Amino acid sequence: MFAGVLFVCTPLLCQTSTQKITQHAQQAQQYLRTNQPELAMKEFSAIIALDPKNSDAHGNLGVLQFFRGEFTAASKELQTALKLRSGLWRIQTLLGMSQKRTGQLSAAITNLEQSWPHLDEEKLRIEAGMELIELYYAARDLDKAASIAGVLQRLRPTDPDILYTSYRIHSDLAGESMLSMAVAAPNSARMHQVMAHELARQGNSSDAINQYREALKLNPRLPGAHFELAEMQRGSSDTAVQEQAEENYKAAVAADPYDAKSECRLGEIASRRGDWKTAHAHYARAFELQPNDPEASLGLGRAMTSMNDLPSAKAALERAVKLDPTSSLAHYRLAGLYRQMGDAEAARRELAEFQRFKEMKEKLKQVYEAMRLRPANQERPDSEISK
């Protein structure tokens, strides 16, 4: 348990000229191998009595005290080890953790900030990163906390503790920004846009639409507002409201000719009408603007399939799946195309992937519904699949 963590029997320790120190060091190792940390601590204390400047003995004793929960004593020994020899990053990390537990928060932040970037062992790097996040969070230094959380997510993308920590930090950042906006510009177009976004996230579509309209009254060219309003209208259960979405997508493109998402939505509207030439033009423009947007490739593939350009449709749909392997609709479209081209095996493979990701997204949808939230990037409804 302890031998993999401690700095025991380094050349400095093993080559000590004093025979007694060597004997104590060897005995400490034996105790550690047999999982007798209390006896090992006595041996390290004996070494320190003989050689007060022995950094290895101070460090090892401090580490053992840390794992016994003796954080005040551990801080003293670990700090002494660092004064005697710099660059002991694991020792400095444990010192920071000890100081955190004894209320020396400023010193803990300093030591963890200095040591954390140098840690190469993933487990310790994650543990130290989480400790540092807690310190930043307590100090309300959310930007720094978010930065560390981002690194940890890249190390372990599916770790629920890290994901929750990141969610908590970013939720607080959003809340702080909204509060600052309410204080600084309570009647601004951006404030109405923020309110609309929050209402939309909570599933209150009607009030969200009203807030977007208020924002656009104040600033008809407010970046992003036409698209966001159109998205809410597109998802409405009211057919009359749905029909208003096209006008706002067009307004979004007029305000920003590089708006690939609005081009995709206009392509979708045209495809529903069976106007494949117009749909192709919109999707092609979206692809030109954002070639790595899976939705543009998906729409382009659908339009080309309907225009009977199967080789081009195949390339576009395969690109869509490559860009977003979790898109159930892309797998469904590609399965249909493979079947149309006579590749039954590939069609079966894509249908299996379609079913797998469809079930996953249904579970995710249930989670959102339980929280009464609206997913940020909602895929087309199942009714689209049959079209």
For residues 329 and 243, state if they share a domain: no
For residues 25 and 106, state if they share a domain: yes
Whether 342 maps to a domain, the answer reads yes
For residues 228 and 271, state if they share a domain: no
For residues 277 and 241, state if they share a domain: no
CATH number at residue 368: 1.25.40.10
Tokens of 351: 């249908």
For residues 46 and 95, state if they share a domain: yes
Domain end residue (candidates: 206, 228, 257)? 257
Residue 337's domain spans which residues? Answer: 258-387
Domain end residue (candidates: 229, 257, 285)? 257
Domain end residue (candidates: 257, 281, 313)? 257
Tokens 């639409």 sit at which residue? 209
Q: CA distances (Å), 233 to each of 112, 177, 193, 213, 247, in order? A: 49, 26, 15, 11, 10
3-state secondary structure of 316: helix
For residues 111 and 224, state if they share a domain: no
The tens-digit pLDDT sequence of the chain (387 residues) is 444 444 444 454 444 456 899 899 999 999 999 999 999 999 999 999 999 999 999 999 999 999 999 999 999 999 999 999 999 999 999 999 999 999 999 999 999 999 999 999 999 999 999 999 999 999 999 999 999 999 999 999 999 999 999 999 999 999 899 999 999 999 999 999 999 999 998 889 999 999 999 999 999 999 999 999 999 999 888 899 999 999 999 999 999 999 999 999 999 999 999 999 999 999 999 999 999 999 999 999 999 999 999 999 999 999 999 999 999 999 999 999 999 999 999 999 999 999 998 888 787 777 766 765 555 555 544 444 544
Longest pairwise C-alpha distance within the chain: 92
User: What b/e string do you get for 298-320 counting C-beta neighbours within 10 Å, with b at 16 or more?
Assistant: bbbbbbbbeeeeeeebbebbbbb
Tokens of 54: 């022995």
Total domains, the chain? 3
For residues 387 and 277, state if they share a domain: yes
Whether 160 maps to a domain, the answer reads no
Whether 162 maps to a domain, the answer reads no
Contact 92, 115 (CB under 8 A): yes
For residues 322 and 234, state if they share a domain: no
**Spatial separation of the C-alpha atoms in residues 328 and 268, rounded to whole Å:** 17
Whether 354 maps to a domain, the answer reads yes
Whether 301 maps to a domain, the answer reads yes
For residue 67, the model assigns a pLDDT of 94
For residues 220 and 302, state if they share a domain: no
Whether 21 maps to a domain, the answer reads yes
For residues 289 and 373, state if they share a domain: yes
Whether 212 maps to a domain, the answer reads yes
For residues 243 and 271, state if they share a domain: no
